């Protein structure tokens, strides 16, 4: 695989797990988008306050800059909930591949509730679903079922990347 990829979806869909596996499989660096949120945004999310577009602006700028600075390719995990957010990232890296981990509300809430070591509360999952604009139909997007086993998802993404590279 050459180029960069965003692994996206709501909280609890498995972005970190799949992103780490794909980065490792393809010899790319991994950037956890959550690690680039501002202290103020992290505080808001810990308190159960949903982020606004304005809150996400600096975060998206940072992710776009980091993507642009890695011409050999980078795997970024981030929610990328709105089309405008994804377009911002695509402007930094034309041809950006996006993997959308699709999951239902109840499954996402259950996964988030089961995490004890994460800043994001299960109460915030509703706001992510309210904000989500599906990327299905946008260029270079693969939708996968987030409830599938990790090895199945890895194989599906790898097959898609191989087919994309022959186009």
Structural domains present in the chain: 5-165 (3.40.50.300)
- Arithmetic mean of pLDDT over the chain: 89
**Residue 2 token pair:** 């050459």
Q: How far apart are CA 36 and CA 18, in angstroms?
A: 19
> Would you say residue 38 has pLDDT above 80?
no
pLDDT at 120: 62
Q: Quickly state the pLDDT bin for 37 (edges 50, 70, 90).
A: confident
Contact 144, 153 (CB under 8 A): yes
SS3 9: coil
pLDDT at 91: 95
The region that residue 52 occupies, defined by phi over 0 for left and psi between -120 and 50 for alpha, beta otherwise, is beta
pLDDT at 167: 59
Q: What is the pLDDT of residues 110-139, one digit of tens each?
A: 888 876 665 566 667 888 899 999 999 999
Q: How far apart are CA 54 and CA 91, in angstroms?
A: 19
Q: What is the dihedral of CA 160, 65, 133, 161, to 10 degrees?
A: 0
Contacts of 144 (CB under 8 A, 6+ apart): 99, 100, 101, 102, 153, 156, 157
Average pLDDT over residues 75-98: 95
pTM of the model: 0.89
Instruction: Using alpha carbons, list the distances in angstroms from residue 7 to 20, 43, 44, 89, 93.
Output: 10, 24, 23, 12, 14
> For the chain, give me the number of helices (H) and strands (E)?
7, 5
């Amino acid at each position: 695989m050459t180029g960069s990829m965003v692994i996206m979806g709501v909280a609890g869909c498995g972005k970190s797990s799949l992103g780490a596996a794909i980065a490792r499989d393809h010899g790319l660096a991994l950037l956890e988008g959550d690690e680039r949120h501002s202290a103020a945004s992290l505080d808001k999310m810990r308190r159960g306050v949903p982020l606004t577009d304005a809150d996400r602006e600096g975060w998206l700028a940072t992710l776009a800059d980091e993507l642009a600075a890695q011409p050999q390719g980078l795997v970024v995990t981030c929610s990328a909930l709105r089309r405008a957010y994804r377009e911002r990232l695509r402007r930094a890296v034309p041809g950006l591949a996006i993997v959308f981990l699709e999951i239902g509300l109840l499954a996402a809430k259950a996964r988030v509730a089961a995490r004890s070591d994460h800043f994001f509360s299960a109460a915030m999952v509703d706001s992510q679903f309210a904000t989500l604009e599906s990327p299905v139909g946008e260029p270079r997007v693969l939708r996968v079922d987030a409830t599938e086993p990790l090895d199945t998802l890895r194989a599906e993404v790898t097959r898609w990347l191989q087919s994309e590279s022959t186009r």
